[in-house]
């Protein structure tokens, strides 16, 4: 958005259920708005507790760069005419981070807040807030201080224009590590350098030779009963990142010259060659022209530009990058050739000694290209010049993302080079489309002698839903059904509703059709009522015009249609969600931190294809978090690829999961066993809440995949991860908020609706990302989103059952211990238990304080044994080691099954569907128990710290408070009046649902 003439538009729609203040059960209310030193006021609505204003005001924004730091305050007052004064009815405050462009603005009803602890307020205020830069809009006239004695309107009547939505560019900024003294010195001495909004982020090169890497250390994830083979275990490493070694989660700098903030990848040298253009090339053809192209050669590596037909002054502007560690020559040759049908002709060349090539380290400016005179094979100068720039740089170079890479594109032609480059993708913003089909009026069936058996079919793209048929003895059928769809911005499909008549079994006739563009559908961010509309049905075929003139009435359809932006559109498994924000940007909160991922390398990959008689792989990595997907470059013909690419995400909720997958590129010529589908090698999941802030996690993750023959290790993926918190208070506040947006609890969906909507959302995301260049293919999106996690599997059911049983092992152990006490197996322990029991019976007020104090001591004791590494896949927990071959055949069977006759197939599919739901229920029960265990296990260090502190405070409070008082308060709270109950989950429930479970370790 252009920041000139920027204004903040505020549309005061109305209020609801205000508090009466005039002593007669009503109020005469008005609204005052405050923003950036300006103040506006609406008209007064006399004697109305639910007033409607629909007045629009425009504020000037003095400094657009500080817009996110400002806030809009809205105060609702009651006008007291007798005394020319006013009384307070409530207020709201909207932070600048919630302001959105006009195209994204929706009406949102904010609950009124108290001005002080003694204020008494109720009700809601409906506002539509947006920023706009239309120069034709004039700002409203603000209210001066002298106008306070008179309450009148200063509403600007300028209508809100319909402007096209501008492209919103997401910026992901890197947060420097404050523990690095080199970064602190650089921040003091040098001005800030803007960071690009997308792309890989890297560490500049260091000239020292790194010392040998230490042997990776195995780390244990679970108890001894859940131990798995050493080959499947997580390994902690200590690599050189950013000129320093990672020791204990911190980067210990060994290279003082390396002061860059890109410190989560290893250093890599590249020889960059930029071929810009040529001039005055000699004619090589009979026609007196030349078809030139450039071949860049160093040792066994070469890169070729496209040839340009009949041009003696061609322009290419192509960059080649050669990995320095794989070079086997000291001379670079840049050869210009003439494209020919039989054999290409030599035109001229330029030679460069690599020892004389300059080194460039950002933020130095790019190296300026120069004109070089062409020479023949003997070294003598000939006609023609070539503009080149040759330098040695690192991954931090601006030319790196779009360069042709020798380590990635060996044996790959120029046409396929676009399929192997690293890219950043942004998934589309998804909306739920709610269509409430109310009724139809004056339907005209084909047969005039019968009443229609009518139903409505709604369609958006490939999504089709139908209402139930209504067999009523009338031409005005009533349905009142909700149909739900998923749509993505920009909206490309229309909503098509067709009224059909079922004239016979299997035979339907169309009565009429309505087409509604989604761009014209109203958006909402809460559960306010949407106004219904009547739509005239259009005839599907041409009819007689004279007959239409005779007809007095036309058929109509009564609808309520809206885009629900108050929900989070689930497009991935709920257990591994990477984003929980609602669709409406007005409901977004500021980020709580920054997540940085360094994809270092992979080792020991399993060959996925055969090339030149040997097994090989062309692998790339995909990482998904929130709306941002990243894809590293493809390393061709390498079973131990080195990526060394770094990416950054903003974190809005700690209860989210980062997913990193490795795939084999099947688009480079050879077809794999599954055709042209990219093959999955394995993936890793990392929950943000299990990471300590500021620590660098460097681990080698085993890539475990379940095959029809059993679990198989496909290699290891080496990652570096750091989560940096920008607002610790906001992060702790998140633990008290509901996991999903408010609308999921106010108007929840059924389980069947969620499954259907999630399936449609994944298809839409896969379709949009598949249209990018290079495309992110559908099989990749489905694997990263766990589309098959809800299907029946005997292995998963057994794993969830044993998870549930392990939760009760502590209860069983306590029962056995109590049995031993009763049997006097240890007399001393039994006597002490009797004394404790008699003491608690004599002083019952000590029971609860003792329990909470005991949990506090357990939590403090477990702090020294807290996990210091992220979770990873566990084969024993997943029951992947002892699974029966027949169960694996069932798990990898198609759905519906193809291994039985028709009758058995129907029963088998029904059994799998029911068993899948039972499996989910058992897994959810196990998840709740595991969350109880994580209260004191420090799996989530911030949650455990909060709970342990709460236990200490409660223990101290209960020691000084009589037990009878506590029991009375608890009883009164449990039996409280419905007026004091809320539909949103309470703070303890929200805190509990955010705790991590062992679902992250499930295969």
Mean pLDDT value of segment 141-149: 59
Q: Judge whether 804 and 888 are in contact, CB under 8 Å.
A: no
pLDDT > 50? residue 851: yes
Pull the structure tokens for residue 396. Answer: 């931090």
For the stretch 943-990, pLDDT in tens is 999 999 999 999 998 888 887 778 777 767 766 666 776 778 888 888
pLDDT digits (tens, 9 = 90+) for 61-95: 988 888 888 899 999 999 988 788 899 999 999 98
Q: Which residues have a Cβ under 8 Å from the Cβ of 663 and sit 6 or more positions away?
A: 619, 620, 621, 622, 678, 679, 680, 681, 780, 783
Contact (CB, 8 A) for 121 and 78: no
Tens digits of per-residue pLDDT, 279-316? 988 888 777 788 899 999 888 788 888 888 888 899 99
286 burial (CB, 10 Å; 0-12 / 13-18 / 19+) is exposed
Q: Which of 3-12, 171-180, 831-840, 908-917 has the lowest mean pLDDT?
A: 171-180
Residue 818, Ramachandran bin (φ over 0: left; ψ between -120 and 50: alpha; else beta):
alpha
> Has domain 7-132 been given CATH number 2.60.40.150?
yes
- Bridge-based pairing of strands 124-132 and 108-111 is antiparallel
pLDDT at 722 over 50: yes
User: In the beta sheet, which residues pair with residue 39?
Assistant: 34
477 contacts 452 by C-beta, under 8 angstroms: yes
Q: Look at residue 670 in the predicted model and tell me its pLDDT.
A: 61
Q: 638-680, pLDDT tens digit by residue?
A: 899 999 899 999 999 999 999 999 999 988 766 555 568 899 9
Angle between the 941-960 and 847-862 helix axes, to the nearest 10 degrees? 150
Q: Residue 96 pLDDT > 90, yes or no?
A: no
CA distance 585 to 100: 7
Q: Is 111 helix (H, G, I), strand (E, B) or coil?
A: strand
| pLDDT confidence of residue 225 | 52
Distance CA 872, CA 620 (A): 20
**Alpha-carbon span 183 to 202, nearest angstrom:** 15
| Residues 360-378 pLDDT 10s | 877 777 888 999 999 988 8
Fold of 269-421: Immunoglobulin-like (2.60.40)
Quote the pLDDT of residue 447.
75
CB of 532 closer than 8 Å to CB of 560: yes
pLDDT of 415 reads 55
Distance between CA atoms of residues 858 and 864, nearest Å:
11
The pLDDT tens digits for 729-771 are 889 999 999 999 999 999 999 988 999 999 999 999 999 999 9
Tell whether the model's pLDDT for residue 203 goes beyond 70: no
* pLDDT tens per residue across span 471-496: 777 888 899 999 999 999 999 899 99
Look up residue 872 and give its two tokens.
């990873």
The residue with greater pLDDT, 348 or 154, is 348
For the segment 808-823, the average pLDDT, to the nearest whole number, is: 83
| CA 849 to chain CA mean position, Å | 42
Question: Is the pLDDT assigned to residue 190 strictly greater than 50?
Answer: no
Domains 430-564 and 585-786 share a fold: yes
Counting residues of the chain whose pLDDT is more than 90, the rounded percentage is 35
Residue 330, SS3 per DSSP: coil
pLDDT band, residue 189 (cuts 50/70/90): very low
* Predicted local distance difference test score (pLDDT) of residue 361: 74
Give the confidence band of 256 by pLDDT, cuts at 50, 70, 90: very low
Q: Which CATH code fits 585-786?
A: 2.60.40.150
pTM for the complete prediction?
A: 0.76
In the chain, domain spans: 7-132, 269-421, 430-564, 585-786
The secondary structure element, H or E, covering residue 959 is helix 941-960
pLDDT band at residue 535 using 50, 70 and 90 as cut-offs:
very high
pLDDT of residue 178 exceeding 50, the answer is no
430-564 is classed in which CATH architecture?
Sandwich (2.60)
252: CB partners within 8 A, 6+ apart: 244, 245, 246
Mean pLDDT of the chain: 82
């Amino acid at each position: 958005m252009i920041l000139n003439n920027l204004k903040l538009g505020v549309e005061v729609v109305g209020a609801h259920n205000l508090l009466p203040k005039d002593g007669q059960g009503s109020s005469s209310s008005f609204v005052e708005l405050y923003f950036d030193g300006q103040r506006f006021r609406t008209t007064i609505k006399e004697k109305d507790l639910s007033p409607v204003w629909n007045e629009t005001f425009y504020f000037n924004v003095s400094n657009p760069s500080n817009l996110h730091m400002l806030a809009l305050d809205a105060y609702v007052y009651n006008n007291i005419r007798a005394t020319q004064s006013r009384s307070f009815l409530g207020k709201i405050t909207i932070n600048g981070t919630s302001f959105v462009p006009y195209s994204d603005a929706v009406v949102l009803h904010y609950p009124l807040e108290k001005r002080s602890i003694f204020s008494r307020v109720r009700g809601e205020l409906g506002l539509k807030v947006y920023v706009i830069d239309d120069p034709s809009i004039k700002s409203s006239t603000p209210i001066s201080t002298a106008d306070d004695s008179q309450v009148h309107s200063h509403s600007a009547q300028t209508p809100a224009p319909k402007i096209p939505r501008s492209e919103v560019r997401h910026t992901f900024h890197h947060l420097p590590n404050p523990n690095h003294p080199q970064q602190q010195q650089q921040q003091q001495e040098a001005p800030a350098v803007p960071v690009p909004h997308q792309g890989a982020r890297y560490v500049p090169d260091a000239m020292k030779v790194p010392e040998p890497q230490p042997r990776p250390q195995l780390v244990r994830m679970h108890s001894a009963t859940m131990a798995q083979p050493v080959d499947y275990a997580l390994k902690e490493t200590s690599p050189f990142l950013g000129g320093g070694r990672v020791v204990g989660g911190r980067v210990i700098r060994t290279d003082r010259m390396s002061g860059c903030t890109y410190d989560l990848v290893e250093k890599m040298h590249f020889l960059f060659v930029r071929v810009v253009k040529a001039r005055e090339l000699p004619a090589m053809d009979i026609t007196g022209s030349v078809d030139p192209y450039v071949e860049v050669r160093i040792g066994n590596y070469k890169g070729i530009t496209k040839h340009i037909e009949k041009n003696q002054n061609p322009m290419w502007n192509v960059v080649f990058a050669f990995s320095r560690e794989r070079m086997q020559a000291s001379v670079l040759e840049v050869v210009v050739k003439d494209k020919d049908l039989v054999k290409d002709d030599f035109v001229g060349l330029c030679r460069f000694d690599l020892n004389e090539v300059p080194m460039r380290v950002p933020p130095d400016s790019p190296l300026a290209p120069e004109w070089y005179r062409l020479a023949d094979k003997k070294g003598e100068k000939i006609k023609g010049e070539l503009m080149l720039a040759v330098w040695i740089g690192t991954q931090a170079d601006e030319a790196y993302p779009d360069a042709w890479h020798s380590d990635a594109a060996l044996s790959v032609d120029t046409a396929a080079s676009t399929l192997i480059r690293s890219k950043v993708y942004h998934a589309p913003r998804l909306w739920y489309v709610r269509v409430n089909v109310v009724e139809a009026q004056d339907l005209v069936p084909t047969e005039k002698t019968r009443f229609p058996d009518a139903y409505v079919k709604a369609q958006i793209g490939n999504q089709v839903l139908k209402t139930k048929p209504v067999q009523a003895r009338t031409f005005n059928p009533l349905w009142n059904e909700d149909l739900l769809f998923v749509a993505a911005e920009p909206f490309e499909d229309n909503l098509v509703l067709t009224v059909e008549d079922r004239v016979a079994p299997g035979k339907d006739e169309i009565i009429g059709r309505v087409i509604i563009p989604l761009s014209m559908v109203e958006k909402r961010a809460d559960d306010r009522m949407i106004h219904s509309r009547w739509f005239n049905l259009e005839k599907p075929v041409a009819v007689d015009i004279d007959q239409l003139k005779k007809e007095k009435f036309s058929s109509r359809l009564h609808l309520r249609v809206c885009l629900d932006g108050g929900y989070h559109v689930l497009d991935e498994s709920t257990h591994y969600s990477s984003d929980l924000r609602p669709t409406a940007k007005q409901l977004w909160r500021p980020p709580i931190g920054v997540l940085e991922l360094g994809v270092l390398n992979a080792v020991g990959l399993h060959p996925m294809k055969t090339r030149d008689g040997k097994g090989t792989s062309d692998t790339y990595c995909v990482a998904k978090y929130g709306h941002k997907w990243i894809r590293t470059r493809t390393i061709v013909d390498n079973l131990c690829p080195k990526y060394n690419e770094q990416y950054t995400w903003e974190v809005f909720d700690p209860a989210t999961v980062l997913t990193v997958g490795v795939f084999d590129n099947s688009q480079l010529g050879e077809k794999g066993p599954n055709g042209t589908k990219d093959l999955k090698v394995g993936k890793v999941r990392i929950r943000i809440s299990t990471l300590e802030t500021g620590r660098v996690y460097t681990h080698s993750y085993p890539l475990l995949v379940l095959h029809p023959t059993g679990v198989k290790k496909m290699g290891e993926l080496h990652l570096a991860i750091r989560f940096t918190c920008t607002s610790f208070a906001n992060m702790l506040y998140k633990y008290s908020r509901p996991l999903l947006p408010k609308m999921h609890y106010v108007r929840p969906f059924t389980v069947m609706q969620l499954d259907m909507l999630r399936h449609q959302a994944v298809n839409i995301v896969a379709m949009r990302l598949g249209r990018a260049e290079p495309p992110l293919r559908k099989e990749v999106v489905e694997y990263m989103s766990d589309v098959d996690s809800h299907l029946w599997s005997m292995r998963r059911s057994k794993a969830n059952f044993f998870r549930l049983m392990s939760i009760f092992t502590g209860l069983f152990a306590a029962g056995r211990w109590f049995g031993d006490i009763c049997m006097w197996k240890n007399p001393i322990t039994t006597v002490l238990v009797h004394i404790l029991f008699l003491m608690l019976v004599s002083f019952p007020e000590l029971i609860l304080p003792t329990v909470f104090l005991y949990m506090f001591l357990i939590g403090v004791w477990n702090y020294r044994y807290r996990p210091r590494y992220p979770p990873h896949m566990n084969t024993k927990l997943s029951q992947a080691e002892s699974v029966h071959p027949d169960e694996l055949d069932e798990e990898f069977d198609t759905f519906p099954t193809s291994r039985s006759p028709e009758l058995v197939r129907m029963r088998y599919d029904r059994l799998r569907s029911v068993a899948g739901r039972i499996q989910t229920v058992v897994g959810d029960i196990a998840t709740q128990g595991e969350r109880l265990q994580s209260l004191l296990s420090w799996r989530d260090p911030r949650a455990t710290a909060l709970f342990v502190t709460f236990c200490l405070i409660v223990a101290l409070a209960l020691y000084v408070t009589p037990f009878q008082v506590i029991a009375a308060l608890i009883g009164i709270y449990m039996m409280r009046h419905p007026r004091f109950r809320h539909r949103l989950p309470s703070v303890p429930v929200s805190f509990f649902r955010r705790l991590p479970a062992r679902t992250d370790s499930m295969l």
